[in-house]
Chain A
Amino acid sequence: MKKDRRVKPVNRRDFIRRGLHIFSGITIGGLTGLLFSKSSSEEMVWQLDPNICVQCEKCAVNCVLPHSSVKCVHSYSMCGYCDLCSGYLQPGAKSRDTGAEHQLCPSGAITRTFVEEPYFQYTIDEELCIGCGKCVKGCISFGNGSLYLQNRHDRCLNCNQCSIARLCPSQAWKRVPASRPYILRGDESQRYQKG
């Protein structure tokens, strides 16, 4: 029986099928070739352009991760180390009191440490930062703009379609090569220029 099947003469149906099989093989081969010509050996990752971002606070909630992959980063090279940091303190705060009620950050992720008179360093605790960008707005509006949002690649799952990117009102997100995974400001923007 088994043998019978094998020596069965090739009928028309089988012939067409065989032809289509080869045709599909060639199509796949051609498609692969076409794709290779448009390919990059490098992975692409998602990043937001801080120069376009309007700090809508959606980054904090739209990430698929329970704690958004977007965090506030701090370009110390641009920071004025202000005593009255507009990214740290509530607008119109009556004092530079470090009490939580005076802070802009809803999760208390920014710590203020004294450097020397009259300068203060502001440090972001990424474990606490929720990526809402409230401090960023404060810094950009009244300060040097040294605080800004970035997608942190130690956290990001690199979704095929980033769900923040899809819903970003300013369309600030784009795919960038994995070797230049951040869009930085200040002196740090030189970081990826060599390669």
Chain B
Amino acid sequence: MRFCSRSAKTVFLLVLCFLLFLPSMNLSQTQERFPKPDFQSGYTRPDLLTPTPRSQLLEYLDVLVLLVALALATYFAHKLRSRRKLFVLMVFSLIYFGFFRKGCVCSIGAIQNVGYAIFNSGYAVPLTVIIFFILPLVFTLFFGRTFCAAVCPLGAVQDAVVLKPTKVPAWLAEVLGILPYIYLGLAVLFVATGAGFIICQYDPFIGFFRFGASFNMMIFGASILLLGTVVARPYCRFLCPYGVLLNWMSRLSRWHVKITPTECNKCRLCEESCPFGAIKTPNEPRYQGSKEKTVKSLAALLVMLPLFIGGGGWIVSRLDESLSRQHFTVSLAEQILLEERGESTVLTEETKAYRASGKPREELFQEAVSIQEKFRLGGWFLGGFIGLILGLKLLNLSVLRRQLEYDVDTGTCLSCGRCFAYCPFEHVRLGLITPEEAAAQGARDPEAREKNENENV
């Protein structure tokens, strides 16, 4: 043991060193306290290895996979109308984007990078992230949400656990349908103020893709999946912020999948087939008489709309204090105040680190105040946005649109293709039955026949 030649002198020196350098801790990070040795023995210093990140080429491979998957999903949904093929593609996406790429880069999270780039001039958003954000939107603007059907890994993991979907009452679905708008608005507010990426922070499934997350997030993810066995795709329908954008695009889409490949004779066979409640059923033209009333309530709502927007803005801008606390700088400044006033006796790591950095107090507080102001201003926008959405929802509900056939609701339909096989005309298309047989199916259901007859009168 030749290393262990101990001597009291060195121990003494070591203790002396400790005492001498104790006050200077943390202040200077690099000090040449000991001279660099000149080696006599021909020893060469080892190199510091710096392994490179995943290559740029592979990032573009991801983009290519996304493009191909989107094209295939669209082809399967529109041309082949094959649920089975869509399902296989969905499983592939789950494995590739979910388990292999570990859920990052994802279109949903890309909202934040895009927002961050717009509001923060210091951040250059990588091209691949832009493409991940834009490409599904473009596809949806033309073909509907085929991205959700078979490409999005978050959708896929939920879709895989749909066991016994139950119907969510329409009013509840409408109310919960507000959540994604709020979530989207909050996410944009948070990136605009630099408070962080909350969509990533609260991504419920990332823990499964990586086989590990914080305990709370694991519980959250597991409960969403558990809920997902009876309420199909709860995250997609009642939380997903990207779904908001896709919903808008899909409503305006140039081409969208239809339940029937040709015609609908209201046989009602598909009525219960959509686990997401995205099928519009025909309604009777019963409101003819009360048209005046409808117009009146419409006008009232239109007048109220600015009130909704203003009121929403006012309310949310009042929340600036509690919202801005999510920002690191603001919470740090608050903690410093608490400590200075003696209201908090334990010093946090954050305040210790701040004090060690020697940054002037005024600067920190100024920064915190300006961030709070941003939150107040952003709050007006966020609240106004939520108010607008609420108003538009009410407007939408008060207009009874005439619906003649069974058709998908283009906004919420995920183009998953589940309903296709329920339609007798799909069976005709596949050559399984003759058109006559299909036509006869419409007459099978007495209630439907009655409805049909009523309409034909």
Chain A interfacial positions (CB closer than 8 Å to B) = 1-2, 17, 20-21, 24-25, 28, 31-32, 34-36, 38-45, 50-52, 54, 56, 58, 64-66, 73-84, 86, 91-98, 112, 114-116, 119-121, 123, 140-145, 148, 152-154, 156-161, 163, 166, 169-171, 175, 178, 181-182, 184-186, 188, 191
In the complex, identify which listed stretch (B41-49, B73-81, B158-166, B235-243) lies at the interface while the others stay far away: B41-49
The answer to whether B113 has its CB under 8 Å from any CB of chain A is yes
* Residue in chain B with minimal CB distance to A118: B37
* Docked complex: B135-151 residues within 8 A CB-CB of A: 137-138, 141
The answer to whether B361 has its CB under 8 Å from any CB of chain A is no
* Residue in chain A with minimal CB distance to B252: A21
Query: Given A21-B254, A77-B45, A81-B37, A28 and B6 touching (CB < 8 A)?
Result: no
Chain B interfacial positions (CB closer than 8 Å to A) = 2-4, 6, 10-11, 13-15, 17-18, 21-22, 24-26, 29-37, 39-41, 43, 45-48, 50-54, 56, 59, 102, 104-106, 109-110, 112-114, 117-118, 121, 123-128, 130, 133-134, 137-138, 141, 196-197, 200-201, 206, 210-213, 248-249, 252-254, 262-263, 328, 348-350, 352-354, 356-357
Across-interface contacts of A163 in B (CB, < 8 A): 201
**Structural contact, A98 and B3, CB atoms closer than 8 A:** yes
Give Cα A50 to B138, complex, Å.
42
**Structural contact, B56 and A24, CB atoms closer than 8 A:** no
**Structural contact, A156 and B32, CB atoms closer than 8 A:** no
Query: Given A21-B254, A158-B54, A160-B106, A44 and B124 touching (CB < 8 A)?
Result: yes
Across-interface contacts of B48 in A (CB, < 8 A): 73-76, 184, 188
* Residue in chain A with minimal CB distance to B207: A64
Give Cα A4 to B251, complex, Å.
22
**Structural contact, A156 and B17, CB atoms closer than 8 A:** no
| Residue in contact with A45 in the complex, picked from B33, B53, B263, CB distance below 8 Å | B53
* Residue in chain B with minimal CB distance to A186: B30
Across-interface contacts of B118 in A (CB, < 8 A): 34-35, 38
Give Cα A144 to B17, complex, Å.
13
* Residue in chain B with minimal CB distance to A36: B130
Instruction: Return A8 CB to nearest CB of chain B, in Å.
Output: 12
Query: Given A58-B349, A142-B18, A80 and B37 touching (CB < 8 A)?
Result: yes
Across-interface contacts of B354 in A (CB, < 8 A): 170
Across-interface contacts of A34 in B (CB, < 8 A): 118
Across-interface contacts of A153 in B (CB, < 8 A): 50-54
**Structural contact, A169 and B350, CB atoms closer than 8 A:** yes
**Structural contact, A144 and B127, CB atoms closer than 8 A:** no
Q: A20-B252, A66-B212 are in contact. List 5 more A-B contacts (CB 8 A).
A: A24-B248, A65-B212, A66-B211, A75-B48, A141-B26
**Structural contact, A119 and B200, CB atoms closer than 8 A:** no
Max chain A Cβ within 10 angstroms of own Cβ: one of B128, B249, B262, B350: B350
**Structural contact, B213 and A64, CB atoms closer than 8 A:** yes
* Residue in chain A with minimal CB distance to B53: A153
Give Cα A114 to B43, complex, Å.
11
| Residue in contact with B124 in the complex, picked from A25, A40, A169, CB distance below 8 Å | A40
Give Cα A73 to B15, complex, Å.
26
**Structural contact, A166 and B36, CB atoms closer than 8 A:** no
**Structural contact, A80 and B34, CB atoms closer than 8 A:** yes
Give Cα A140 to B356, complex, Å.
14
| Residue in contact with A144 in the complex, picked from B13, B33, B328, CB distance below 8 Å | B33
**Structural contact, A143 and B41, CB atoms closer than 8 A:** no
* Residue in chain A with minimal CB distance to B30: A145
| Residue in contact with A43 in the complex, picked from B21, B126, B133, CB distance below 8 Å | B126
Across-interface contacts of B50 in A (CB, < 8 A): 153, 181-182, 184, 188, 191
Give Cα A181 to B138, complex, Å.
33
* Residue in chain B with minimal CB distance to A155: B51
Across-interface contacts of A28 in B (CB, < 8 A): 134, 137-138, 141
**Structural contact, A39 and B126, CB atoms closer than 8 A:** yes
Give Cα A176 to B13, complex, Å.
41
Instruction: Return A12 CB to nearest CB of chain B, in Å.
Output: 13
Instruction: Return A188 CB to nearest CB of chain B, in Å.
Output: 5
**Structural contact, B53 and A35, CB atoms closer than 8 A:** no
**Structural contact, A143 and B34, CB atoms closer than 8 A:** yes
Closest 4 pairs between A and B when the two form their complex, measured CB to CB: A80-B34, A154-B51, A40-B124, A161-B197
Across-interface contacts of A97 in B (CB, < 8 A): 4
**Structural contact, A170 and B29, CB atoms closer than 8 A:** no
* Residue in chain A with minimal CB distance to B5: A96
**Structural contact, A96 and B4, CB atoms closer than 8 A:** yes
**Structural contact, A54 and B348, CB atoms closer than 8 A:** no
**Structural contact, A40 and B3, CB atoms closer than 8 A:** no
* Residue in chain A with minimal CB distance to B26: A54
A-B contact pairs, 11 of them (CB 8 A): A35-B134, A39-B130, A44-B124, A77-B36, A84-B17, A98-B3, A121-B46, A145-B30, A160-B110, A160-B113, A181-B52
Across-interface contacts of B51 in A (CB, < 8 A): 152-154
Across-interface contacts of B348 in A (CB, < 8 A): 169
Give Cα A157 to B109, complex, Å.
15
Instruction: Return B349 CB to nearest CB of chain A, in Å.
Output: 4
Give Cα A20 to B211, complex, Å.
43
**Structural contact, A161 and B352, CB atoms closer than 8 A:** no
Instruction: Return A5 CB to nearest CB of chain B, in Å.
Output: 9
Instruction: Return A103 CB to nearest CB of chain B, in Å.
Output: 13
